[in-house]
Structure 1
Amino acid sequence: MSTPPANYPSDDGLQAVYDANRTAMVMPRQFQLAQIFVASPKDTADKVVEDRARKSLDEIQRKLKAPGADFAAIAGETGAKNGGDLGWIAEGQIRPEIRSQVMGLTKGAISEPIWLDDGWHILKLIDTKASYTRTLPEVRDQLVQQMRSERAAVLRRAYLAELLKQNPPVVNELALSSLLGGQVGAAR
């Protein structure tokens, strides 16, 4: 009863929903980043840990500034997987402290160390994808699934409403009264 017809939605209906929701189809600008991380929690009172982190950071920066430095290899030396590659990250998912640094980088550039709660972050901007609106073919399957799901919910509610209209629920006051120990009549 709640399954939409096989031909739902029509191409025209799909196009209309896509056009009406075009702003929701926007993909934000994305950045492909790699990271070298040096742990040094802000709340540490251990001077030895802090000095060790600072020495490690200085050594990494020295290596990165050397001619022909390989960011991925240096990241690998620090234990980072995949050369520190974080993959594609949407602009809104990047912490503001890091985003401000990344926005100023050119492709292939490396940031200065960025201090956050957990330690030092050095980032490399591998690539950038500009913001764009996904096309109907890109979102077609997802949109069809969503429209069919919403239609099924509407059909289900309509079916239940019709059943209730044809067979309204009846309360058996005697059975309810005995179940509640005679309190139904006393409440009136």
Structure 2
Amino acid sequence: MKRHLSGSAALGVVFACALAAAPQAIAQQPEPAPVGTAPAEAPAAPAPPPPPQGLSESVAAVVNDDIVSTYDLAQRMRLLIATSGVQPTQENLPQFQREALISLVDEHLQFQELRRVEKEQKIEIIADDNDVNEDIDDMAKQNNMDRTQFMAFLASRGIGADTLRQQLRAQISWGRWIQGRYGSRLRVGDDQIAAAQALLSAQASKPQYQIGEVLIDSNRVGGMPQALAGAQQLVQQMQQGAPFPAVARQFSALPTAANGGDAGWVSPGEMPPEVEAVLEQMRPGQLSQPIQVRDGVYILYLRDKRAGGSATLVNLKQAAVSLAQGATADDEAAARAKLTALKPQITSCATLEATAGKVQGVVAGDLGEAEVADLAPQFQDAANKLKVGEVSDPIRTSAGLHLVAVCGRRAAGGEIADKEQIERRLRGQQLSMIARRYMRDLRNSATIETK
């Protein structure tokens, strides 16, 4: 690419180069995984006028006294495209450009602040090459590559090694500084932990959700309309195949971005009310539409859902004789006698199918795990009264006669987080809020000029 343009022509080349570098996403967890669409073709960029001699590249932004070049911007856009799995189109290119420019501006502010602190306090904060290499090795491993292969993958898409290294160096260094400066000062009181435990206990009877989350910070992207528009474009791209974890890593403002947006299991009361209202209506495997909250816009991916702790789950197996609803009394008596004779021969759930299979006219099978409340009324009484390993007397249904064995029983829901887990979660939430406020203050006090 030519790196000596200025003004709108330079931005046109940034767009064109990003489209020309449209890659397939690096292998990630395909959540959700519809078939992706091919990237749109970019129109040819207009030929720029000849530049003045000696001007090597144009300026995209000035952050205090630091320059962000159009080359840096194009490189970061390519990196976002390669690592997010979002296919570039004419519609989403402005979002890529905005996100790339915001990230570069933030990184310049972070490095300026870190260098100031290093000079004043005579300490080392900025990550060295060994730290960066460790993160690259982790990324490569997640994609079934070694470091050399991973960097070659990026190079094949026109992404310089320094582009990824600079992004990782900023992330590592800034996280280290926030943790070092504020981590030891944070105090999560016993009263806070007790209140959180009480809330979790009160919510234990309600469903729990295993979610992935993305938050587009409205303050960071220039306002709520921009956050909503950006979130809608990301949802559309994920519906077309962009992996949720990759999108979360590049676009989410939450601490879970480092884990691909994985927030684990959450209970009612742990998420903003607007988010919980949507979660209650979602099914596992479903991606939400953008959800507006006070500080931005959420996107959720519901991986799994489990019943509340007050529910009882049972695993059942059965041996049955098919019998029509209008069967004669003699036919029903014969079927009942057959199952009554079979019952004492069933010594365990493990051998139920094999034992029942030896009796002509008897069909056996695993009914799986279900909440007792969801069972047919005829089976609920047996499921509640029988111990694990016990077999019922013949039960009449409209389909026939059944022997039901209870092969497992457990309370639904997961274990309530212990004190250490709750403290770690609360500390993480506080650190995240501090880091976002810190960056907001740096932006407000800086002189930032975009071209």
Give TM-score scaled by structure 2 length: 0.25
Structure 1 residue 34 displacement after superposition: 0.6
- Per-residue CA deviations over 1:136-187 (Å, capped at 9, x if unaligned) read 9xxxxxxxxxxxxxxxxxxxxxxxxxxxxxxxxxxxxxxxxxxxxxxxxxxx
Structure 1 residue 85 displacement after superposition: 1.6
Whether contact under 8 Å (2:388, 2:407) holds in the other structure is yes
- Per-residue CA deviations over 1:18-49 (Å, capped at 9, x if unaligned) read 7145x9654242111111112222234xx3xx
Q: How does 1:61-100 map to 2 (within 5 A)?
A: 61-66=340-345, 68=347, 70-77=351-358, 78=361, 80=363, 83-100=364-381
The answer as to 2:259 corresponding to 1:29 is no
**Equivalent position of 2:430 in the other structure:** none
Identify which of structures 1 and 2 has the higher relative contact order when contacts are C-alpha pairs closer than 8 Å and 6+ apart. Answer: 1
Structure 1 residue 68 displacement after superposition: 5.0
**Equivalent position of 2:24 in the other structure:** none
Could you say if the C-alpha distance between residues 53 and 11 of structure 1 is closer, same or farther in structure 2, counting changes exceeding 3 Å? farther
Whether contact under 8 Å (2:323, 2:400) holds in the other structure is yes
Structure 1 spans left out of the alignment, 5+ residues: 137-188
Residue 120 of structure 1: SS of its match in structure 2?
Answer: strand
**Equivalent position of 1:42 in the other structure:** 325
**How far apart, in 1, do the equivalents of 2:332 and 2:254 lie?**
61
Residue 108 of structure 1: SS of its match in structure 2?
Answer: coil
Whether contact under 8 Å (1:35, 1:75) holds in the other structure is no
* Aligned match for 1:123, one of 384, 404, 429: 404
Structure 2 spans left out of the alignment, 5+ residues: 1-228, 235-246, 281-304, 418-451
**How far apart, in 1, do the equivalents of 2:411 and 2:387 lie?**
14
The answer as to 2:270 corresponding to 1:19 is yes
Whether contact under 8 Å (2:320, 2:362) holds in the other structure is no
Whether contact under 8 Å (1:26, 1:132) holds in the other structure is yes
Structure 1 residue 107 displacement after superposition: 0.7
Residue 339 of structure 2: SS of its match in structure 1?
Answer: helix
Whether contact under 8 Å (2:372, 2:384) holds in the other structure is no
Residue 3 of structure 1: SS of its match in structure 2?
Answer: helix
Letter of the structure 2 residue corresponding to residue 55 of structure 1: A
Could you say if the C-alpha distance between residues 18 and 8 of structure 1 is closer, same or farther in structure 2, counting changes exceeding 3 Å? farther
Letter of the structure 2 residue corresponding to residue 61 of structure 1: T
**Equivalent position of 1:184 in the other structure:** none
Letter of the structure 2 residue corresponding to residue 113 of structure 1: P
Q: How does 1:149-188 map to 2 (within 5 A)?
A: none
Letter of the structure 2 residue corresponding to residue 3 of structure 1: Q
Could you say if the C-alpha distance between residues 26 and 94 of structure 1 is closer, same or farther in structure 2, counting changes exceeding 3 Å? same
**Equivalent position of 2:383 in the other structure:** 102
Structure 1 residue 54 displacement after superposition: 2.5
Residues paired across the two proteins, number: 129
Could you say if the C-alpha distance between residues 67 and 131 of structure 1 is closer, same or farther in structure 2, counting changes exceeding 3 Å? closer
Could you say if the C-alpha distance between residues 116 and 56 of structure 1 is closer, same or farther in structure 2, counting changes exceeding 3 Å? closer
**How far apart, in 2, do the equivalents of 1:122 and 1:16 lie?**
37
Whether contact under 8 Å (1:34, 1:124) holds in the other structure is yes
Identity %, equivalent residues? 17
Whether contact under 8 Å (2:316, 2:368) holds in the other structure is yes
Could you say if the C-alpha distance between residues 129 and 84 of structure 1 is closer, same or farther in structure 2, counting changes exceeding 3 Å? same
Structure 1 residue 124 displacement after superposition: 0.3
The farther-off stretch of 9-18 and 85-94 is 9-18
**Equivalent position of 1:8 in the other structure:** 252
Whether contact under 8 Å (2:346, 2:355) holds in the other structure is no
Residue 402 of structure 2: SS of its match in structure 1?
Answer: strand
The answer as to 2:337 corresponding to 1:52 is no
